[in-house]
Structure 1
Amino acid sequence: MKSARSLGFQSKKTLLALPLLAFCAMPASAQVSPSEVLNPDLQALEQAHFQQLIAINHSVAKTKFPFPFYLSRYVGLDPAKQAEADTRGLEFVRFKDRAILKVSGNYNAAYDTLRLTQNERATATFRSVILPILQVVTAALPEDLPCDGIGFEIAHHARTNNRSYDFEGKETLVVVFDRADAWAISRASSDPERQEILNRSKVFVSGVDYGLSLTERDPLNVETLRRSIPANPDATSSARSSALTSHSVLLKPVNPPPAAPAAPAGAKPAAPRAADPSPETPRLTQADANRLEEKYQSQLSALAKEGAAKFRFVAYAPPTFVLFHDQIALEMTLKNSRQFAPARGSIYKRAAESFDLFLAPLLKDISERISPDVEFELFDFSVLNKLSPTAKETSEAVEFICPRAELKKFVNAEITNQQLLDQSVVLVNGVRIALNLQLVE
């Protein structure tokens, strides 16, 4: 059996720098309460399998991994911050409009990037963490579990050390199995069987679609793989229901266009009409945003009420439509749950932490409350930061103005947080800044 060092891990002596958190983490029985889940379908799943999820949490806590692993609702945290983080890493969530049981956590192994390729690092985490936990999950839950699949989101460390510098970063491995494949791979006894299932599953490494190879140094070509989870959802999802739209989406079209009548059987399709030359699209004004606000006033009020209860929306600035660079944005103002100490004097560091540690974990739930058919182009999230009383200013506003399409990719794990911010506008007290998350760590 190869030693940890021969596999490219840092030695145990090096890994002692990663704090052991078992004695200060939340109890293993900690689990997301069904009442915290906003989507009614996911809430029903959470309620029906609540005790089983608690049992899985216990079993994972007792499982021996090569290096410390901790379930966590949010991944990629520094080891020093994991103790105070939310350790409830089992939850039913939406992934590409499919109901998935998500297992997420932080694996405190530091892989040597000079000895292991990215594919080998991801494979090591897959073998050491995902496969053992999948055995626990499939043993505790019924094979006819009424959801679409089981997904894993596991963060690990990657370290580069040469004569000129020593750098340690993070990578996140996401693997989403179709429900039947989750049980099939847990029973698989050989790498060819596992590889065949992986090839049709969704795999991402740090937000990039990835062809994980269990036996090679380099990944497979993603373009040649047949993924079982479609990029666009269809009507086959076992967790779909009419209640999903009517109950979970708060902001939706007031008068959706009627469906086109079906053509009589045997009728010939009408010949396409020549397109009339369209006049130049008029520029939008604040008056257009105001008309949109009047149209959705009652729904905006409902969103404000739920946002105050669930997402720390401020009461004095309810959701509203505004104009930004000739585009209509849905503006929401949130109060950061974190207070910044005097030592954290950099506006860039505060902006980065405001996004990563406060806003980003909320984006999926917030965006799911908004129907994609509502006619606006941008999300404008204004995060109010409370500063230490000893600071020159006691508060600041950090705005993240994000294109809807890019935000959807982010919450679906198709792009990284940095890729989203690169396509967005970030303002601190009205002044635009460039925000590179890695540079401010």
Structure 2
Amino acid sequence: MSMPRPTLVVGAGQAGLELVTALRDLGDTEPIVLVGEEPVPPYDRPPLSKGYLAGTQRLSDIVFHPEPWFAEQDIELVLGDPVARIERDGDRGSATTASGRVIEFGRLALATGSANRRLALPGADLDAVLDLRSVADADRLGAVLDGLATGGRLVVIGGGFIGLEVAADARAKGVDVTVVEAAERLLGRVVSPQLSEFYLAAHRRRGTEVLLRSTATRIVADGVGVGAVELADGRVVEASAVLVAVGAVARTELAEQLGLQVDGGIVVDEHALASDGMTVAVGDCTSVPNPYTRGTPGRLRLESTQHASDHARTAASTLVGSGAAYTSVPWFWSDQGELQLQISGLYADVDRTVVRGDPETERFTLLHYRDGLLVAAECVGTRQDHIAVKRGLEKGMTIDPDAAADPGVPLKRLLTPAP
């Protein structure tokens, strides 16, 4: 009797780990091979731009499980040897890793994640031009920031979450920081205009120079390192190091090898099934039908640990045949220094915003409505508001906007069933 072919999970990030964990939780006993590109076991990636970079967390604090745990779960963990090629013929296939190892499989899951978007600028290949995606990147960036603390300037190209989190960490270490953002506001793709204005003022209060509507066109060398960043309007910003943080793109190369449909990400249905009807794909490498019933119709690519975890559990249920659909309420968080932001729902097509608390105190909540229905909340330092809204949205509830502005009334008391 031939041995069963294992389930191959390509990608050992949050989504890949959650998928293999969920398979075991669901009672699946088939052998599993989990293949990761990095030489360390799966770890929590968000702290790389927060506690790990700040030095308050070590690698052992962010690794989900030590390697013996995987053996106990009958999961073969392959580290530092990424899958380079996949071939599939019906319900079986084989993958070849970078080292030439061939892994036969029965079921296939792609959890290939994202890659940082690159800037095609003169000077972008200089040694002191950095990005942040892996533990190795964070170690290198941390060493550079420690060196700049005695003198020097970090220029951050990109005013998104990663750029602003690193900017806050750098300022806390005494580093001079300039953030260069091409758009007209910070975090413009993911938060409301009101919250963008708050974070602009908050970072400037803390000594960070923020340049909006500013496009970097060249990184100028100073010897072998970086000396400045030139902008499209002719300005020159002094720089000792540059962090490029201009977003990420889905890693779809293996999906394209397999002939799967790709549109900004691996196209999957509500059960995490790719276009061949056999392969599952999970996490931020995917383009998913909007799972949020109060969102706008269409597809989107979500980048968050919550999405990775929830989507992976959906994919695991698909692989074992239970067929649960992905319907999670999205939520996100960002620590920028001592400012903690928590977001529930999706900000889109909003027609009313209720401000709860005073932004000047750096503790407030923005409640966003469409046609009288609560669709999202942005909470800065108001954890209880976030918990109430998140749980309420998950249960299909709403909050009367006229009653919500008083911060003295807990939001959990105001939750009512949505019409």
Q: Shorter-chain TM-score category?
A: under 0.3
Q: Could you say which structure has the higher strand fraction?
A: 2
TM-score, normalized by length of structure 2? 0.28
If you compute each CA radius of gyration, which structure gives the higher value, 1 or 2? 1
**Structure possessing the higher relative contact order (Cα contacts under 8 Å, 6 or more residues apart):** 2
TM-score, normalized by length of structure 1? 0.27
